[in-house]
Structure 1
């Protein structure tokens, strides 16, 4: 369960980073006050009314909305000086080595029960470990 939650969280953070750097444009075509078409990544279709470009009273308008993604995520490892590179490398190495698990111990007699004790031989023979 814990492993699945970690994978879901990692995937969610990767999607958030992807969409935060994503840029797109929304194109809208209005005929008067009515929205005729809107399109993402392409040009919106017109209503078919052809108005001369020099006419003062256009009934149709086009509107473009551009959403720019962020560029701050473009950080190179080479932009750090030598001391910062050594620190980041050491921190990463020790972090991953911190969670290295021990090898699983195999106990071959784990499922077997001990024999039934008929008499306590140490008490019968009066032998005690000191």
Structure 2
């Protein structure tokens, strides 16, 4: 159960780091206030209203205002996640080294054998006290 929770939390944290560092752009095309097309990776397609004819004469032309508009939303990701180890001061380096040392030691069991009675021999039994007193555990 604990390993499943650790795997789920590690995948979740990896996704959080990935999504916080990714930057992307959303392009959208509006025609008359209505969203016609939106694109995440490429350019948006324009509607037929966006194609304008060039006037043949340049004198005294009154142009209609274009009803189409393009919007671009840029979402910038974080760029300050790369901290180098040599830019830390002495106390921070000591803390990181101590943390890594103690964290790695959590995964290993101690190999110390605490058998204090290895060389101890019990005394010889002269009389069996339970038989002599006739007291038996039932």
Q: TM-score, normalised by structure 1?
A: 0.70
Q: 2:98 is matched with which residue: 90, 94, 105?
A: 90
Q: How does 1:1-130 map to 2 (within 5 A)?
A: 1-49=1-49, 50-51=51-52, 55=63, 57-102=65-110, 123-124=130-131
Q: Which shifted more, 65-74 or 36-45?
A: 65-74
In the alignment, the residues of structure 2 paired with residue 15 and residue 70 of structure 1 have an alpha-carbon distance, to the nearest angstrom, of 14
Counterpart secondary structure, 1:95: helix
In the alignment, the residues of structure 2 paired with residue 57 and residue 68 of structure 1 have an alpha-carbon distance, to the nearest angstrom, of 33
Q: TM-score, normalised by structure 2?
A: 0.66
Q: Closer, same or farther in 2 for the Cα pair 1:4/1:102, shift >3 Å?
A: farther
Counterpart secondary structure, 1:7: helix
Q: Which residue of 1 aligns with 2:117?
A: none
What runs of 5+ residues in structure 1 fail to find an aligned partner? 104-120
What runs of 5+ residues in structure 2 fail to find an aligned partner? 56-62, 112-127, 134-138
User: Rg bigger for which structure?
Assistant: 2
Paired residues, number: 109
What is the RMSD computed on CA atoms of the aligned residues?
2.5
In the alignment, the residues of structure 1 paired with residue 47 and residue 41 of structure 2 have an alpha-carbon distance, to the nearest angstrom, of 19
In the alignment, the residues of structure 1 paired with residue 2 and residue 94 of structure 2 have an alpha-carbon distance, to the nearest angstrom, of 32
Counterpart secondary structure, 1:16: helix
Counterpart secondary structure, 2:47: coil
